[in-house]
Amino acid sequence: MIIDTHCHLFYDELKNDLPGVIERAEESGVNRFICVGTNMEDSRECLALGETHENIYASAGVHPHDAKDVPKDYVDQIHDLMTFDSMVAVGEMGLDYFRNISEPEIQRKVFREQMQIASQLHKPVIFHNRDADEDVLRILSEFPDVIGVAHCFSSNLETAKAFIDLGFYISFSGNLTFKNSHLPDVAKELPLDKLLVETDSPYLSPVPHRSKSNEPGRTRYVAEKLAEIHDVSLEVIAEKTTANATALFCL
């Protein structure tokens, strides 16, 4: 069994064929999914999926791209959403200085406010980090009681180790399989009991499906790549990453 710890099932590409998406995932050995919200509307869609599918879990949060558009009462809205059983994490939150779709200052404010929610509710967080290692590390350090996952990890080894030192897991997506990626060298140095796998679908389709829309079943390619990097069987990776996700998200 493999868990896709980060997918966005509310996008049309996936939503319009959800039974097919789930069936193909199960054929690939991927049978649990965390549907991750990026704003209040889609966090509600994640909740609806989580409450109606036994193998789908949900998270509620605001992506850094969406930070500029948060409704005034979004903190209260997240608190309300988090009261449901299928809600396992706050996020995705974080910083994206690569695209800076929201002003960096607004990104940091909304990130901190969500870390505060996680701290109050004793829930793990799912964070996004692009070109913002230093500021992400600073903000995570301000909330020493909060743990979670560095989703779609793409930074260097030093940053991975710093996240792990703060109690976080490192999640790899399809970009681990891309040609000339530095990520296999990073993944090789990290302990298996700190790793998770994900697709970030419908984004980031792994080799050999690079140009197509991604779907959760392709978590298997990420797990296979990790197995190759660590020179262990796919079963070992599946077992370890599933145990890690189960522990972190209390599944």
Q: How many CB atoms lie within 10 A of CB 222?
A: 29
* Shorter beta-carbon distance to Zn ion: residue 218 or 230: 218
Structure letter (DSSP) for residue 201: B
* Shorter beta-carbon distance to Zn ion: residue 63 or 220: 63
CB of 137 to Zn ion, least distance (A): 17
Binding mask 78-117 for Zn ion (x = CB under 5 A): ----------------------------------------
Collapsed DSSP state (helix, strand, coil) of residue 195: strand
The answer to the question of residue 128 lying near Zn ion (CB under 5 A) is yes
The answer to the question of residue 199 lying near Zn ion (CB under 5 A) is no
The answer to the question of residue 123 lying near Zn ion (CB under 5 A) is no
CB of 59 to Zn ion, least distance (A): 10
Please tell me the count of residues contacting Zn ion according to CB under 5 A.
Answer: 2
Q: Is the alpha carbon torsion for 14, 213, 232, 159 positive or negative?
A: negative
Q: If we measure between CA atoms, which residue out of 213, 226, 180, 218 comes closest to residue 199?
A: 218
Q: If we measure between CA atoms, which residue out of 69, 59, 45 comes closest to residue 89?
A: 59
CB of 204 to Zn ion, least distance (A): 9
State the Cα–Cα distance between residues 144 and 7, nearest whole angstrom. 27
**Under the rule (CB under 5 A), what is the footprint of Zn ion?**
128, 200
